Structure 1
Amino acid sequence: MKISYNWLTQFIHTDKNPEEISEILTGTGLEVESLEKVQTIPGGLDGLIIGHVRECWQHPNADRLRVTKVDVGSGEDLQVVCGAPNVAAGQKVVVATVGTTVYPLEGEPFKITKSKIRGEVSEGMICAEDEIGLGKSHEGIMVLSADAVTGAPAKEYFNIKDDFLFEIGLTPNRADAASHLGVARDLAAFLRTSVSLPDVSAFNVGSNDLIIPVEVRNEKACIRYSSLSVSGVEVKDSPEWLKEKLQVIGLRPVNNVVDITNYVLHELGQPLHAFDADVISGGKVIVTNCPEGTPFVTLDGTERKLSAEDLMICSASEPMCIAGVFGGINSGVKADTKNVFLESACFNPVSVRKSSKRHGLKTDASFRFERGTDPDITVYALKRAAILIKEVAGGEISSEINDIYPSPVPSFKVSVTYKNVDRLIGESIAKETVKEIVRALGITVISENADGLELEVPAYKVDVSREVDVIEEILRIYGYNNIAIPCQVRASMNYAVKPDREAVQNQIADMLSSNGFFEILSNSLTSSTYTEVPEKAVQILNPLSSDLDTMRQSLLYSGLEAIAYNQNRKNADLRLYEFGRRYEKTESGFSENQRLAIFITGMKHTAQWNHLSEPSSFYNLKAAVDAVIKRLNIPGLTEEAFESAHFASARQYRKGAKPLVYFGAVSKSVLKKLDIEKDVFYADFDWDLLLKAIKKNKITYKEVSRFPSVKRDLSLLLDKDVSFYQLKQLALRTEKNLIREVSVFDVYEGDKLPAGKKSYAVSFLLQDEEKTLTDKQIDSVMNKLILIFGKELGAEIRK
């Protein structure tokens, strides 16, 4: 939310500068995320001076130029060459002195330098209004009134003030602060001063020539509806002061009537809507619900199907506006509008929130209505807007205010005890201070006794309805920083569960990051189009959008979205990992499971002059998976093939009957969904199961053997369906004592082998920890392996 410093000071008189106000607001819970200086006119007229033209004569070398002597209050006149036809002695003018940067309406800014123009020295520039951003005219220089003070800064003469923009991170519970008035109230409470509201005493009804009756049929959704008519308006561009107010806070001016409704919204926090009164068919407004599926075209030109739950502002024959959310394409104020029907209402927050979510529409009005607006300000805001419309668009107020308020919203009655104030704040606060703060917040003290206060909280403070809420309000204004930090901290000893989840996660994260992986963090909300098992999907009741309507069942698609995003920006060689949760429905409710996902795509490394790069492969992923398993020291895993629609080919490790991790190449059909052309290799760890496996596994130290190891190789001819994992497990079972490692260093398949066969070149590392191995022992082991490979795997030894 953007708040203008100059606008804020119209509500509250203070000598605090913007930086000080920023600290105060942040301290009271309205966190100022940024403070930016804003110039209402580019350059702020800095360096421009009011000058007095003492002399003016024809330039000796140019028919269209004049040479002038200008007094700028420095004690020495400046000689300025000027090309304007209207320059003359005796005038008060605006002068840009040497060194000043001028910001014209069109073209780039330029700096004034001392120069010679057709042989005559020029020490500045006498300015036209378009040359300094004050207007569009370029017919001649600006000639000021005779009482302009020579030597005075031009910004003072034109009353140009720099503004400061507060960017406030408004929390959802602070609906009361969603305006300049709301922020001013907090600031005034802290400074113990008053807020000055704009005067609406000039409001008067000129006639009753344009009475538009209103009927509210859904009083639950429409709490209060206030309206009036203004006739004879002239829709045109807004005056500069109004444009500047809106532009400073980032709004684009539309026309004078619409701009006033936006101005009052950001001034008072009360959304308004202006209808073209002449297009309200039947001359009547009905606040009701339309039948399910009713077509309605909104201001953005989109046709929407209405829900029967959408509250609509209708004419006698058709819907005109989604209440509190968005107007219809035909009902708004247009260039030829002459008569305006002005609405100021208070709608049920739940109703507006559901309609806003249902249609995917977020507006300044819905932002405020769905958090709760002040039901007591509708009439005041209506008067304020009507007066301003008359001021900027003419016309007259042509109906009395029609205020429909069948069930007034009561103020909150809250009891507060001093004992609970001190207990929750953690420090004793003087009773007089508590009462002072309460009154400064606009809360009425109904009665009091030695123990506490009976309070009446105004309806606009929608989040202050309990004692604890009032105490929070007191603490905000008293100041969090004023609460002393105790010298002692009392805490009980707490023994962490072994293994420590965070410590283990950090170990693996450090290891992966050290090996060139980057950690990503994705949203747990994803699109329902990515759902793997629809009947187990956890749907969001009020999704932010159709792309975020389901809790993810896998980390696969969020990682692929990150890959697609990077590849579209020429960053295709990626190694990523993510710790996150997946969510599913179960028979007993819902479940969530912690996962670790690893992604590899693109080239293994960047090509250099002395070596070529090569694409990443399944084995790069397997190396990363094995590194995680090895780092956590989890033995006894079973490897086998894994089939899934998400994988072109994959393997999995099991711990007993449970899959610990599955990994492989993502299928082309999945990659095509996200327009990813390069291969992606993906691993998904069950992190919760990993932690349980660590807990059951004791890490022991074994002394390094002082006896040498021996390496022997075999070349084996095998059936194609025999995996290296089978061969390795068979070798380790056959010789448990001496074989330390089994690895494959060559695989061959081709026309030189019999059909259906492949060749493995396998290396065996043997070692005895008690003595040096003899040739006889080694040969015995190798012969035993050859026999068992032949018997169980049908292997033949290749010579």
Structure 2
Amino acid sequence: MKISINRLKKYIALTESPDEIADLLTQSGLEVEGIEEFISIPGGLEGIVIGEVLTCEKHPDADKLSLTTVDIGAGEPSQIVCGAPNVAAGQKVLVATVGATLYPTGGDSFTIKKAKIRGQVSEGMICAEDELGIGTSHDGIMVLDTDLPTGTPASELIPVTHDHVLEIGLTPNRADAASHLGVARDLKALLGRPLCIDKVSDLTLEGDRKELEISVADAADCPRYAGVVVSDLKVAPSPQWLQDFLRALDLEPINNVVDITNFILHDLGQPLHAFDADKIAGGKIIVKKLPKDSKFITLDEKERKLSGEELMICDAEGGMCIGGIFGGKGSGVSDHTTSIFLESAYFSPDVIRKGAQYHGLKTDASFRFERGTDPNMPVYALKKAVELLQEIAGGKVSSEMVDLYPNPIADFEIDVEYGHINRLIGKKIEPNQVKSILEGLDIRVENETEEGFKAIVKPYRVDVIREADIIEEILRIYGFQQVELSENLKTDYLAEHPVKDLNKLQYRLSEILGAQGYQEMITNSLTKPVYAEKSGFLDSNLNVEIYNKLSEDLGVMRQSLLFTGLEVLAHNINRRQSDLKFFEFGTVYQKTEAGYQEGRRLAIFHSGNRSAESWLEPARPFGFADLYATIERLLDKLNLQISNSEMLESAPFEYGLRLMLGQKELGTLGLVKDSLLKMTEVRQEVWYADLDWDLLCKKASGLKQYAEISKFPEVRRDLSLVIDKAVSYAKVKEVAEKAGGKLLRRIGVFDVYQGDKIDAGKKAYALSFHLQDQEKTLTDKVIDKTMHKLMEAFQNEVGAVIRS
């Protein structure tokens, strides 16, 4: 669920930063999963100014270009080459200055540079609508009618909306918070500040009367049904403020009537539905159930068979809408609509939930109705919507407002004891503070005694029906962090489940490695002192020396599994066994200030060819990817994942990687230096991985996580990036996962290039991005928007150049 901070500020005075607001909400149970900045015009028109064309002459070397001088309020006029046919001296225009970045409609962003165009210097760009991202017109440059002086920022002429949008992971119980008003209510309680809620006036008849006969046949499933006819409407695009609000929430504006209903839904949490009044047969609205297997065509032009259990909004001839879920094709608002019946209702959550599940329809309206909306909101929301229709679409009220509410839903009454509050929270909270918190949440306190009180809860809080729920409300506003831990709190009685058997874990990985063609080796823990002295990465001062050594070659305990492993490789290579895959679980030793320490390691060796030559293909030597893939397979079996990696170009490797698990180093892998191979007389390349076996044992989890396979297709898009060699793939992947969000399922690399076709110090990655939505089929628009976010993130965060 997305929440605009600009809109929240209409309800409550907020001086806190978006991050501070997010922390407050998260601590109170509305977990903020992310914060996005929204700018109504990409780039915010930064670097765009008002200019005046002083002179305009034909370009000496190009028939379709003009050579202009433009006053941009910066002293000397700027010379600009312009290709627009309508440019002329005396015009006020919008100029992108050198260094400004443009975000054209439907195109890639680019930065304005001082350049020569057909031999003439150009110091900027005179812009058209589509080049600024504020429209689609490319017939010519924008010619302004303004008295603003030259050099004035374009944002003073064309308003730019800046907003921050919170992505809230709403839990199913918090239906009351599925709106801006709902979130503002929580902030009111958290900050102790009043809410500012607009007052609405009673509706007054203005136009020709168009009364409809309205009836509810099933009051149990539709306890409240309200509506009114609004005529003389002019369906048109919404004003900019409304379009900006919807776009900030990732909603596409449609027209002023539909946009107003979407605004009310997200602002107040009350779904509305607009019917074309001229298409309502017989002048009747009937809320009832239709027989099973009745056919109904919904707005998406699909014919559906009804179950007989869903609530239908009908006219004299049949169904017009699946109530609270989805509209029908024949009764919706179109560009030709001039009169609507606007519905505002409270439906039973059960009937909406069953209907939505039966038809596989999940809409913004059903999301709220099936969790429980506010039965006291329909009339207020209806009046608010009518005010907007009058203001934005020129509508006139043409009927009396109908409000069928035969059995009003009562407030919840809950008995609460102070003793129970203090016991469940684990801390005594003074009665006055309890009352203050509850009043901030619009929960009245009545019949108070020393022992407790009666809490009166409004029905929009569908999750607060028991004493424990009241106590939970008190705690989340009071703050979990304010409940101190007891000095006597102990956890040593808790056992780890299941208990890890480290021998079984080692045996399990040995089997996995054996199945991949590895041979296990067990080498001597005693080794040569010279290895540490000449290695370049071990400290000989830390050698654990043997007092009664049998020989100098077995004089110290090993600090690494590398050299004893290389000795085994040399032994095999000297006997014409050159294609080798070995692993070893072993212990390493070092001296410390306190005495001695030992640690267990897992070493993996590759040398020679991965596959022998045959008539199908030539021999293929082992490479970095083979070793890395083995490590990934092992980690997958332990339900672990590498959190980060960084390049290594130091002993014992010619080049390699350092791998991290969380904040701790897992180990290293890479190509062993030639100088170290010569020490053990190994005469071919060796790939080596050194992993912290103690850390793996500690972090290993037996719990495998599974997810439901999506019913919707996956989409692949490819990008080619040119980046600095210093930028790791891990960084590229991190940027992609952050920008791609929930739609990005996985990333692949299918080509890497470094050579003379790109600049020195650069490399090119060819990446595949696999996108998928768990709830619906992806549209081209959503895919393009996601890929645009990815490209922007690569350009801004790793300095990538996108290759076309």
Q: With the length of structure 1 as denominator, give the TM-score of the two structures.
A: 0.60
Q: Per the alignment, do residues 118 and 504 of structure 1 end up closer, same or farther by CA in structure 2, a change over 3 Å counting?
A: closer
Query: Structure 1: which amino acid aligns with 2:142?
Result: M
Query: Structure 2: which amino acid aligns with 1:35?
Result: I
User: Equivalent residues in 2 for 1:387-406 (5 A)?
Assistant: 387-406=387-406
User: Equivalent residues in 2 for 1:186-585 (5 A)?
Assistant: 186-201=186-201, 203-207=203-207, 209-490=209-490, 493=493, 502-503=498-499, 511-516=507-512
Query: Structure 2: which amino acid aligns with 1:503?
Result: V
Q: Deviations over 1:211-250 (max 9, x none)?
A: 1121111111001000011123233443443333222212
Q: Per the alignment, do residues 290 and 80 of structure 1 end up closer, same or farther by CA in structure 2, a change over 3 Å counting?
A: same
**Could you tell me which residue of structure 2 aligns to residue 67 of structure 1?**
68
Native 8 Å contact 2:56 2:67 kept in 1? yes
C-alpha distance in 1 between matches for 2:438 and 2:264: 27
**Could you tell me which residue of structure 1 aligns to residue 33 of structure 2?**
33
Native 8 Å contact 1:70 1:80 kept in 2? no
User: Structure 1 stretch 458-467 or stretch 267-276: which is displaced more?
Assistant: 458-467
In the comparison of the two structures, how many residue pairs are matched?
521
Q: What SS does the corresponding residue of 1:415 show, helix, strand or coil?
A: strand
Query: Structure 1: which amino acid aligns with 2:444?
Result: T
Q: Deviations over 1:146-170 (max 9, x none)?
A: 4435444323442213322221111
C-alpha distance in 2 between matches for 1:40 and 1:508: 58
Unaligned ranges ≥5, structure 1: 519-605, 614-799
Q: Per the alignment, do residues 299 and 138 of structure 1 end up closer, same or farther by CA in structure 2, a change over 3 Å counting?
A: closer
Q: Per the alignment, do residues 118 and 607 of structure 1 end up closer, same or farther by CA in structure 2, a change over 3 Å counting?
A: closer
Q: What SS does the corresponding residue of 1:300 show, helix, strand or coil?
A: coil
Query: Structure 1: which amino acid aligns with 2:387?
Result: I
Native 8 Å contact 2:56 2:87 kept in 1? no
Native 8 Å contact 2:70 2:79 kept in 1? yes
C-alpha distance in 2 between matches for 1:262 and 1:507: 60
RMSD: 3.0
Q: Deviations over 1:774-795 (max 9, x none)?
A: xxxxxxxxxxxxxxxxxxxxxx
C-alpha distance in 2 between matches for 1:252 and 1:507: 58
Q: Per the alignment, do residues 35 and 135 of structure 1 end up closer, same or farther by CA in structure 2, a change over 3 Å counting?
A: same
User: Equivalent residues in 2 for 1:650-729 (5 A)?
Assistant: none
User: Structure 1 stretch 83-92 or stretch 242-251: which is displaced more?
Assistant: 83-92
Q: What SS does the corresponding residue of 2:488 show, helix, strand or coil?
A: coil
**Could you tell me which residue of structure 1 aligns to residue 55 of structure 2?**
56
**Could you tell me which residue of structure 2 aligns to residue 114 of structure 1?**
114
**Could you tell me which residue of structure 1 aligns to residue 176 of structure 2?**
176
State which of 609, 612, 615 in structure 1 corresponds to 2:612: 609
Q: What SS does the corresponding residue of 1:241 show, helix, strand or coil?
A: helix
C-alpha distance in 2 between matches for 1:513 and 1:149: 74
Question: 1:396: Cα distance to partner?
Answer: 1.4
Native 8 Å contact 1:202 1:387 kept in 2? no
User: Structure 1 stretch 456-465 or stretch 365-374: which is displaced more?
Assistant: 456-465
Q: Per the alignment, do residues 276 and 448 of structure 1 end up closer, same or farther by CA in structure 2, a change over 3 Å counting?
A: same
Q: What SS does the corresponding residue of 2:26 show, helix, strand or coil?
A: helix
Q: Deviations over 1:130-182 (max 9, x none)?
A: 22012233444334454435444323442213322221111110000011111
Q: What SS does the corresponding residue of 1:67 show, helix, strand or coil?
A: strand
Q: Per the alignment, do residues 437 and 149 of structure 1 end up closer, same or farther by CA in structure 2, a change over 3 Å counting?
A: farther
Native 8 Å contact 1:92 1:148 kept in 2? no
Native 8 Å contact 1:222 1:346 kept in 2? yes
**Could you tell me which residue of structure 1 aligns to residue 520 of structure 2?**
none
Q: Deviations over 1:683-718 (max 9, x none)?
A: xxxxxxxxxxxxxxxxxxxxxxxxxxxxxxxxxxxx
C-alpha distance in 2 between matches for 1:149 and 1:400: 52
User: Structure 1 stretch 463-472 or stretch 148-157: which is displaced more?
Assistant: 148-157
C-alpha distance in 1 between matches for 2:166 and 2:615: 54
Q: What SS does the corresponding residue of 2:484 show, helix, strand or coil?
A: coil
Question: 1:121: Cα distance to partner?
Answer: 2.8
Q: Per the alignment, do residues 512 and 360 of structure 1 end up closer, same or farther by CA in structure 2, a change over 3 Å counting?
A: farther
Query: Structure 2: which amino acid aligns with 1:71?
Result: I
Q: What SS does the corresponding residue of 2:227 show, helix, strand or coil?
A: strand
Q: Per the alignment, do residues 486 and 336 of structure 1 end up closer, same or farther by CA in structure 2, a change over 3 Å counting?
A: same
C-alpha distance in 1 between matches for 2:417 and 2:340: 51
C-alpha distance in 1 between matches for 2:504 and 2:353: 43
C-alpha distance in 2 between matches for 1:28 and 1:501: 31
Q: Per the alignment, do residues 142 and 303 of structure 1 end up closer, same or farther by CA in structure 2, a change over 3 Å counting?
A: closer
Q: Deviations over 1:725-745 (max 9, x none)?
A: xxxxxxxxxxxxxxxxxxxxx
Q: Deviations over 1:246-280 (max 9, x none)?
A: 22212233333222212211111101111122222
Structure ID, larger Rg: 1
Question: 1:199: Cα distance to partner?
Answer: 4.6
Native 8 Å contact 1:208 1:400 kept in 2? no
Q: Per the alignment, do residues 493 and 505 of structure 1 end up closer, same or farther by CA in structure 2, a change over 3 Å counting?
A: closer
Question: 1:607: Cα distance to partner?
Answer: 6.9
C-alpha distance in 1 between matches for 2:510 and 2:302: 51
Q: Per the alignment, do residues 492 and 19 of structure 1 end up closer, same or farther by CA in structure 2, a change over 3 Å counting?
A: closer
Q: What SS does the corresponding residue of 2:498 show, helix, strand or coil?
A: helix
C-alpha distance in 1 between matches for 2:141 and 2:365: 44
Query: Structure 1: which amino acid aligns with 2:405?
Result: Y
Native 8 Å contact 2:56 2:66 kept in 1? no
C-alpha distance in 2 between matches for 1:35 and 1:456: 35
User: Structure 1 stretch 417-426 or stretch 29-38: which is displaced more?
Assistant: 417-426
Q: Per the alignment, do residues 145 and 254 of structure 1 end up closer, same or farther by CA in structure 2, a change over 3 Å counting?
A: closer
**Could you tell me which residue of structure 2 aligns to residue 3 of structure 1?**
3
C-alpha distance in 1 between matches for 2:501 and 2:218: 54
Question: 1:432: Cα distance to partner?
Answer: 3.0
Q: What SS does the corresponding residue of 1:263 show, helix, strand or coil?
A: helix
User: Structure 1 stretch 331-340 or stretch 501-510: which is displaced more?
Assistant: 501-510
Question: 1:408: Cα distance to partner?
Answer: 0.5
Query: Structure 1: which amino acid aligns with 2:69?
Result: T
Native 8 Å contact 1:68 1:82 kept in 2? no
Q: Per the alignment, do residues 423 and 207 of structure 1 end up closer, same or farther by CA in structure 2, a change over 3 Å counting?
A: same
Q: Per the alignment, do residues 86 and 456 of structure 1 end up closer, same or farther by CA in structure 2, a change over 3 Å counting?
A: same
Q: Per the alignment, do residues 225 and 126 of structure 1 end up closer, same or farther by CA in structure 2, a change over 3 Å counting?
A: same
Question: 1:339: Cα distance to partner?
Answer: 1.9
**Could you tell me which residue of structure 1 aligns to residue 767 of structure 2?**
none
C-alpha distance in 2 between matches for 1:283 and 1:193: 47
Q: What SS does the corresponding residue of 2:206 show, helix, strand or coil?
A: coil
**Could you tell me which residue of structure 1 aligns to residue 154 of structure 2?**
154
Native 8 Å contact 1:105 1:133 kept in 2? yes
Q: Per the alignment, do residues 144 and 400 of structure 1 end up closer, same or farther by CA in structure 2, a change over 3 Å counting?
A: same
**Could you tell me which residue of structure 1 aligns to residue 552 of structure 2?**
none
C-alpha distance in 1 between matches for 2:502 and 2:338: 68
Query: Structure 1: which amino acid aligns with 2:316?
Result: A
Query: Structure 2: which amino acid aligns with 1:456?
Result: I
Q: What SS does the corresponding residue of 1:214 show, helix, strand or coil?
A: strand
C-alpha distance in 2 between matches for 1:219 and 1:311: 11
Question: 1:502: Cα distance to partner?
Answer: 1.6
**Could you tell me which residue of structure 2 aligns to residue 79 of structure 1?**
79
Q: What SS does the corresponding residue of 1:413 show, helix, strand or coil?
A: strand
C-alpha distance in 1 between matches for 2:109 and 2:491: 63
C-alpha distance in 2 between matches for 1:161 and 1:509: 57
Q: What SS does the corresponding residue of 1:456 show, helix, strand or coil?
A: strand
Question: 1:610: Cα distance to partner?
Answer: 5.6
Q: With the length of structure 2 as denominator, give the TM-score of the two structures.
A: 0.60
Native 8 Å contact 2:71 2:150 kept in 1? no
**Could you tell me which residue of structure 2 aligns to residue 583 of structure 1?**
none
Question: 1:505: Cα distance to partner?
Answer: 8.3
Query: Structure 2: which amino acid aligns with 1:10?
Result: K
Native 8 Å contact 2:49 2:72 kept in 1? no
